[in-house]
A and B are shown apart, each in its own frame.
Chain A
């Protein structure tokens, strides 16, 4: 039927459009730098690139922590705190996400580039 064909055409065009837009988006925005910010007791200790694999070891009066940055994701590898909640919070890579170790007053968060304040506006 002719009517049916038009519907299928519309759906196909839409799917192609969406897929291509996702690809374009990946190309354009991949270059955007995301940083990992490590804060303890309100003091910023490190600001690191999320794309560089490295291990940060913190051993101070708050306790012992090992933070891993690997393959564009950050996570808490070791912590000698009681709850171990920080390890269970898993790997983060999205802007605004964070891993928090409350007993050690330690916070790891991902900070984005220039479009950090759009979320609050585009409702």
Chain B
């Protein structure tokens, strides 16, 4: 990997992915799904991060993640939501990079990302609220993470061949 420089193409797709991820996570937050716990969503933003991780563009994935959380948070959320998202997002990204490095299957990488995201968010919620009641949601959130992670993984698996040309 000697592509250290920020080429025009690289800047372009970072911007594109940030915009996609940001608006998708906003649209998702408007759709309420009640499935035993509040705040369950598909995590479509994760699709782009997973894609970058799979192309071994880890730094780009981190940049996209931080940008989307910061910009999305200031536009649509508040400081708390940025804190929550940042903890969940960065932890999940780290886990995904690790899983990718150890050559796990795409679906496993995706599921690990989704599940670790939920674990981190529950942990931060616990630290902020100092209430044990929050752990009540953990099993449901883990299950939801497996399902949404599976969905994103399948999406990624089927779409990646069409994007290979772009990321050569």
Contact = CB atoms under 8 A, between A and B. Distances in A.
Nearest to B29: A123
B139 A25 contact: yes
Given A114-B133, A115-B131, A21 B108 contact: no
B142 A17 contact: yes
A123 B104 CA distance: 30
A7 B104 contact: yes
B39 A122 contact: yes
A96 to B, nearest CB: 11
B62 interface: no
Contact of B136 (A6, A14, A115, A123): A115
Q: Is the interface of B mostly helix, strand, loop or mixed?
A: helix
Interface residues of B, number: 31
B159 interface: no
B25 interface: no
A119 B107 CA distance: 30
A118 B129 contact: yes
Interface string B124-168: 010011010111111100110010000000000000000000000
Contacts of A119: 38
B112 interface: yes
Interface residues of A, number: 20
A29 B139 CA distance: 13
B64 interface: no
Contact of B103 (A3, A14, A118, A122): A3
Contacts of B103: 3
B89 to A, nearest CB: 14
B105 A3 contact: yes
A10 B104 contact: yes
27 contacts: A3-B103, A4-B105, A6-B102, A7-B108, A10-B108, A10-B112, A11-B108, A14-B115, A18-B139, A18-B143, A18-B146, A21-B142, A22-B139, A25-B136, A25-B139, A29-B136, A115-B136, A118-B133, A118-B134, A119-B38, A121-B125, A122-B38, A122-B39, A122-B134, A122-B137, A123-B29, A123-B39
- State the 8 A-B residue pairs at the shortest beta-carbon distance, nearest first: A115-B133, A21-B139, A123-B39, A7-B105, A22-B139, A7-B108, A18-B142, A119-B38
Interface of A: 3-4, 6-7, 10-11, 14, 17-18, 21-22, 25, 29, 114-115, 118-119, 121-123
